[in-house]
Amino acid sequence: MSLNIAYKESDNFAVVFDMDGVIADTNPYHAKAFEAFFDRYKVNYTQEAFEQHMYGKHNSYIMQHFFGRPFSPQEIATLEAEKEGLFREIYKAVATPVFGLVDFLRDLQRHDFLLGVATSAPRANMNLVLDTLGIRDLFQSTLSSEDVSLHKPHPEVYLKSAEALHVSAHRVMVFEDSYSGVTAGTAAGMAVTGVLTSHKKEELPPCAAYIRDYRDIDAPTVKSLLK
How many domains does the chain divide into? 2
| CA dist., res. 2 & res. 102, Å (int) | 32
Q: Does 11 score more than 90 pLDDT? A: no
- How high is the pLDDT of residue 175? 98
- How high is the pLDDT of residue 82? 96
- How high is the pLDDT of residue 8? 59
Residue 70 lies in a domain: yes
Which amino acid, residue 33?
Answer: A
Residue 21 and residue 31 in one domain: no
Report, as an integer, the average pLDDT of 82-94. 95
Residue 6 lies in a domain: no
Burial class (CB in 10 A: 0-12, 13-18, 19+), 31: middle
What is the pLDDT confidence band of residue 55, given thresholds at 50, 70 and 90?
A: confident
Report, as an integer, the average pLDDT of 17-30. 95
Residue 211 and residue 159 in one domain: yes
Q: Does 114 score more than 70 pLDDT? A: yes
For the domain that residue 119 is a member of, what is the CATH number? 3.40.50.1000
Residue 131 lies in a domain: yes
- How high is the pLDDT of residue 3? 54
List C-alpha distances in Å: 60 to 17, 50, 51, 156, 220.
22, 14, 16, 17, 38
Q: Does 78 score more than 50 pLDDT? A: yes
Domain's final residue, options 41, 64, 91:
91
Residue 155 and residue 220 in one domain: yes
pLDDT (tens digit per residue) in 169-204:
999 999 999 999 999 999 999 999 999 998 999 999
Residue 5 lies in a domain: no
Tell me how crowded residue 149 is: count the other CB atoms within 10 A of its CB.
6
Residue 163 lies in a domain: yes
Residue 205 and residue 128 in one domain: yes
Residue 21 and residue 121 in one domain: yes
For the domain that residue 77 is a member of, what is the CATH number? 1.10.150.240
Question: What is the percent of the chain where pLDDT is above 70?
Answer: 96
Ramachandran area for residue 186 (φ above 0: left; ψ -120 to 50: alpha; else beta): alpha
- CA dihedral (15, 16, 18, 23) in degrees, to 10, reads 50
Tell me how crowded residue 217 is: count the other CB atoms within 10 A of its CB.
22
Residue 126 and residue 213 in one domain: yes
Residue 145 and residue 63 in one domain: no
Report, as an integer, the average pLDDT of 62-73. 94
| CA dist., res. 185 & res. 190, Å (int) | 6
Residue 48 and residue 58 in one domain: yes
Q: Does 221 score more than 80 pLDDT? A: yes
Q: Which neighbouring-strand residues pair with 118? A: 143
Q: Which neighbouring-strand residues pair with 115? A: 15
CA 42 to the chain's CA centroid: 29
Q: What is the mean pLDDT of the chain?
A: 94
**φ, ψ (nearest 5 deg) of residue 159:** -65, -40
Among 7-11, 90-94, 111-115, the minimum mean pLDDT is found in 7-11
pLDDT (tens digit per residue) in 132-182:
999 999 999 999 999 999 999 999 999 999 999 999 999 999 999 999 999
pTM exceeds cut of 0.85: yes
| CA dist., res. 128 & res. 119, Å (int) | 13
Range of the domain at 34: 27-91
Tell me how crowded residue 209 is: count the other CB atoms within 10 A of its CB.
16
Residue 111 and residue 184 in one domain: yes
DSSP annotation of 136 reads G
- How high is the pLDDT of residue 1? 47
What is the pLDDT confidence band of residue 214, given thresholds at 50, 70 and 90?
A: very high
| CA dist., res. 155 & res. 138, Å (int) | 23
Residue 143 and residue 182 in one domain: yes
